[in-house]
DNA sequence: GGACTTGAGTGGTTTAGACCATTGCGATTA
DNA sequence: TAATCGCAATGGTCTAAACCACTCAAGTCC
């Protein structure tokens, strides 16, 4: 991970951009990191500062970037350690549970809360209901091997699934939808973007506020094209990687442009 | 964008986590930002610092996060401005060019360099060649309406496409592959993860080093399943959002778990 | 008019130092 | 033995201050 476009540094003909110290330090630390096995510890911030002859602030800036990239783990009061690498999540309508299992991890999921509220106009449009109609909001914490990985917030139209709030638990939502309402999922549209962790998310995920996250929204429809749920999931950016397998569109399209 | 899990702040029963100042400031600035039209300017860092009674460092930390989220644009020597929102890229084998056009943007693409080198074992495996075989590396800068958006680095096996280096230019690579070699793309596997900008990338994208990026790798195969190219693209995280439309797997799978 | 210089204002980097919060362990105590 | 306390080390936050690099417009010069 982290290909560095070797060779051609940066051809900005005129002024040398004067590489910041914290970047140079980051590279030296990355080098150091290559000989530390995952989980191994690094010297403290103060030690690094005097070791490299820079201020602690500069050290922290370098460490912060490495942490954001998932190459470091920092534990308050304990130390700084080499990172573990990323999990991947296949980008398709498969479930979190299936995915984790196929990676040999033990997935668990706990329901944080389930509450009923009124849909605002935007949400109503997404769920195909009227503004003000009841919506069930579910928040789940997803874990892999006991470690918090993602927070998932689903919203479903209660009118279509009366009593749904009584059926949901830590188990499978899609299972409940199928067994009690006969609903099967058809297609979905997902978007993926970057985000930073809010303090609440950070607290649940064992993260720091402001950490790099992947924000995934999913708009799911049943096999008849009716909207079923709208989900926003926040994954730890230092832990996750999404995978999609794609098939080609009509070949005629391809040859035109790229 | 930015749903804040309202209500339940953080139920950590014991100690109040003592919200950092820079976070509180961030929220106040976000509030301020709601009444500033996109492109509008904010007060300078020093002004904000004295305005809110904090140090400039703290202001900068808050501004840095808002910038990473794409809600702010900062211009060295000029000022801090309200952000513009994100573009989206459809997650399928469609081309960058098509995508931008469908969003009403004018896409351009320029070839930064094309060079031939030897494949390392990992790359050789990806491209289905022997370690040490010649590989053509192309680097492109993608723009939308003239603004740098992404850097794309493709690698193709030269043995399969002899003379390819003489055909490529600012135009369509896939077009060249089709016209000169009769190659059409079949499926591809993509991964998406977060990354931070290297100084070189930042310089090309008009970004700052360490900015939030989306790193997309694509491994493409032709219609007969032979590997065609391996691409790593770095998109500006404050500008991009990826979109995927998904179809359901076998319905029987769904009902089991979620 | 056009090109150049200058300087004020902006964000970017770095420092040194202070203090806080958490952790983990060894010493102490019940 | 088991629980508790205290302390040292670690990372986290914040400050005040200095200097750098870039931008832009006003002023100057040709």
Give the DSSP per-residue string, B160-200.
Answer: TSTTHHHH-SSS-HHHHHHHHH---EEEEEEEEEEEE--HH
Nucleotide nearest to A210 (CA to C1'): D12
**What is the band of A154 on the pLDDT scale with cuts at 50, 70, 90?**
very high
Mean per-residue pLDDT for B229-249?
A: 79
Does residue B167 register a pLDDT over 70?
yes
Does residue A158 register a pLDDT over 70?
yes
pLDDT tens sequence across A52-80 = 999 999 999 999 989 888 889 888 899 99
What's the DSSP call for residue B233?
E
Q: Which two tokens stand for residue A13?
A: 């003909």
Nucleotide nearest to B49 (CA to C1'): D15
Q: Which of A130-144, B76-90, B139-153 has the lowest mean pLDDT?
A: B76-90
Mean per-residue pLDDT for A130-134?
A: 94
Query: Considering chain A, what percentage of its residues have pLDDT values greater than 70?
Result: 81
**Closest residue (CA to C1') to nucleotide D9 in the complex:** A77
For residue A50, the distance in angstroms to the closest alpha carbon of chain B comes to 22
First to last CA, chain B: 25
Q: What is the average pLDDT score of chain A?
A: 80
Count of beta carbons in the 10 Å neighbourhood of residue B76: 6
The pLDDT value recorded for residue A36 is: 86
The pLDDT value recorded for residue B250 is: 40
Round to a whole number and report the distance in Å from the CA of B202 to the C1' of D26.
33
Q: Which of A36-40, A142-146, B5-9, B200-204 has the lowest mean pLDDT?
A: B5-9
Rg of chain A (C-alpha set) = 23
Does residue B169 register a pLDDT over 90?
no
The pLDDT value recorded for residue A246 is: 67
Is-contact A118 A158, C-beta < 8 A?
no
**Which chain A residue has its CA at the smallest distance from B2's CA?**
A195
pTM of the model: 0.72
Please report the ipTM that was assigned to this predicted complex.
0.68
Mean per-residue pLDDT for A149-158?
A: 92
What's the DSSP call for residue A101?
H
Is-contact B121 B131, C-beta < 8 A?
yes
The pLDDT value recorded for residue B13 is: 31
Is-contact A206 A236, C-beta < 8 A?
no
Please tell me the total number of residues recorded for chain B in this structure: 258
Q: Which of A83-87, A242-246, A253-257 has the lowest mean pLDDT?
A: A253-257
Mean per-residue pLDDT for A193-218?
A: 82
**What is the band of B147 on the pLDDT scale with cuts at 50, 70, 90?**
confident
Mean per-residue pLDDT for A175-187?
A: 87
**Closest residue (CA to C1') to nucleotide C20 in the complex:** B18
Q: Which two tokens stand for residue A212?
A: 């790099």
Q: Which of A2-11, A191-200, B118-127 has the lowest mean pLDDT?
A: A2-11
**What is the band of A247 on the pLDDT scale with cuts at 50, 70, 90?**
low
Nearest to A196 among B65, B92, B179 (CB): B65
pLDDT tens sequence across B59-71 = 999 999 898 888 8
Q: What is the average pLDDT score of chain B?
A: 80
Does residue A163 register a pLDDT over 60?
yes
Chain C: bases < 7 Å from a protein Cβ: 9-18, 20-24
Is-contact B33 B71, C-beta < 8 A?
yes
Does residue B139 register a pLDDT over 60?
yes
Cβ contact A187–B243 (<8 Å)? no
Task: Give the C-alpha distances (Å, rounded to integers) separating A219 from A120, A185, A187, A188.
Answer: 16, 11, 9, 5
Alpha helix (H) residue ranges in chain B: 21-33, 45-52, 56-68, 96-102, 121-127, 164-167, 173-181, 199-205, 251-254
Cβ contact A193–B10 (<8 Å)? no
For tokens 């007969």, name the residue.
Answer: B224
User: Residue A45 and residue A91: Cα distance in Å, rounded?
Assistant: 38
The pLDDT value recorded for residue B94 is: 58
Cβ contact B192–A212 (<8 Å)? no
Does residue B91 register a pLDDT over 70?
no
The pLDDT value recorded for residue B29 is: 93
Does residue A136 register a pLDDT over 70?
yes
Helices and strands of chain B, counted as H and E runs? 9, 11
User: Residue B18 and residue B36: Cα distance in Å, rounded?
Assistant: 29
**What is the band of B92 on the pLDDT scale with cuts at 50, 70, 90?**
low
């Amino acid at each position: 991970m982290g290909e560095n476009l070797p060779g051609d540094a940066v051809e900005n003909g005129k002024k040398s951009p004067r590489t910041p110290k914290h970047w140079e330090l980051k590279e030296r630390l990355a080098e150091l990191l290559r000989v530390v096995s995952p989980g191994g510890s690094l010297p403290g911030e103060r030690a690094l500062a005097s070791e490299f002859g820079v201020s602690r602030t500069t050290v922290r800036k370098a460490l912060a970037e490495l942490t954001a990239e998932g190459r470091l783990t920092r534990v308050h009061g304990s130390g700084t350690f080499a990172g573990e690498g990323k999990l991947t999540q296949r980008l398709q309508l498969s479930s979190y549970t299936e995915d984790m299992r196929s990676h040999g991890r033990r997935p668990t999921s706990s329901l944080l809360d389930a509450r009923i509220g009124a849909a605002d106009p935007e949400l109503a449009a997404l769920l195909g209901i009227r503004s003000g109609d009841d919506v069930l909001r579910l928040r789940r914490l997803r874990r892999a091997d006991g470690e918090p990985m993602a927070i998932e917030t689903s919203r479903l139209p209660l009118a279509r699934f009366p009593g749904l709030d009584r059926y949901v638990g830590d188990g499978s939502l899609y299972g409940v939808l199928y067994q009690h309402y006969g609903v099967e999922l058809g297609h979905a549209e997902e978007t993926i973007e970057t985000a930073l962790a809010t303090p609440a998310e950070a607290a649940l995920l064992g993260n720091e506020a402001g950490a790099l996250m992947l924000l995934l929204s999913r708009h799911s429809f049943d096999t008849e094209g009716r909207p079923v749920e709208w989900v926003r999931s926040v994954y730890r950016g230092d832990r996750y990687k999404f995978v999609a397998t794609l098939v080609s569109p009509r070949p005629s399209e391809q040859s035109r442009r790229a």
